[in-house]
């Protein structure tokens, strides 16, 4: 398994001509997530392209936000697999061992996630609404707090500083205190890692928190936030139409185009305090 970033040789073209130099690239490798129910063989649940690191948080967060786990006490252990055919893939396969049987028939589809699009194959938002009810009212956040979040996120992205090629998700309190931050080539993986860390600590639901992600917002991020009980989801980029639709139906305040000079609120504006 490679790390969060790797060395590469490149040829840099500039005003002084071409020259060879070393560069740092964001790591990207597949992670296979397996689930082993009590007294059952392990079954493959998902394959996602991710940046190595916080893999156990990613596995727990993914299973939780997809509705396959409901409480951290269900997990007996999370381990890398040692029975893979090629030794170099040993740290790219994770098994979540449960204290209860696992109903594999609950898997309505095979999960396959890429770093660019998130989990593919959702038939409709109706499947999401089976997983969680619309969120209750959450805290009211001051606009000044939201405006300060992008800089706080950028200041805590060490691998992005080295590579320029990673997304980030940051979990904050309603007053802007950073609680968790994870980086990944996939913004949905970064969010799963953040949620998985809190889920494993028994700290969900996250009803008094908000989350900021880099890039755009797809509906799968809204789903994950809603399952974790996060009432406000913000991004520096744009939301998709399906993300806005999901946010309105699931009770999530959706904030997009969050920059230094302003932002848009697409749903549940009552969670953002009026500007003074």
Catalytic residues, by residue number, are: 117
In the sheet that holds 111-114, the strands lie side by side as 75-80, 93-98, 29-36, 42-50, 111-114, 118-119
d(CA 190, CA 183): 5
SS3 call for 259: strand
CA–chain centroid gap for 89, Å, is 23
Residues with Cβ within 8 Å of residue 272, at least 6 apart in sequence: 140, 141, 143, 146, 232, 253, 255, 265
Cβ(150)–Cβ(169) below 8 Å: no
Per-residue CA distances from 120 to 43, 47, 144, 206, 271 (Å) = 19, 11, 35, 25, 30
């Amino acid at each position: 398994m490679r790390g969060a970033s790797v060395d590469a040789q490149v040829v840099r073209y500039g005003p002084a001509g071409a020259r060879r130099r070393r560069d740092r690239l964001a790591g990207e490798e597949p992670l296979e997530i397996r689930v082993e129910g009590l007294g059952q063989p392990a079954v493959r649940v998902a394959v996602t392209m991710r940046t190595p690191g916080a893999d156990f948080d990613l596995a727990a967060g993914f299973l939780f936000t997809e509705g396959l786990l409901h409480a951290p006490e269900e997990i007996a252990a999370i381990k890398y697999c040692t029975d893979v055919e090629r030794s170099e893939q040993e740290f790219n396969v994770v098994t979540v061992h449960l204290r209860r049987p696992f109903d594999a028939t609950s898997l309505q589809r095979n999960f396959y996630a890429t770093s660019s699009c998130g989990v593919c194959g959702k038939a409709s938002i109706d499947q999401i609404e089976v997983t969680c009810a619309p969120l209750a009212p959450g805290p009211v956040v001051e606009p000044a707090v939201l405006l300060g979040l992008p800089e706080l996120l950028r200041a805590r992205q060490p691998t992005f500083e080295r590579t320029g090629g990673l997304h980030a998700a940051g979990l904050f309190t309603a007053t802007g205190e950073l609680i968790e931050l994870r980086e990944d080539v996939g913004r949905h993986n970064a969010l799963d890692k953040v949620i998985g860390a809190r889920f494993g600590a028994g700290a969900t639901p996250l009803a008094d928190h908000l989350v900021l992600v880099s890039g755009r917002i797809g509906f799968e991020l809204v789903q994950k936030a809603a399952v974790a009980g996060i009432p406000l989801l913000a991004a520096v980029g744009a939301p998709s139409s399906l993300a806005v639709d999901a946010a309105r139906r699931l009770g999530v305040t959706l904030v997009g185009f969050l920059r230094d000079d302003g932002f848009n609120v697409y749903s549940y504006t009552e969670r953002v305090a009026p500007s003074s």
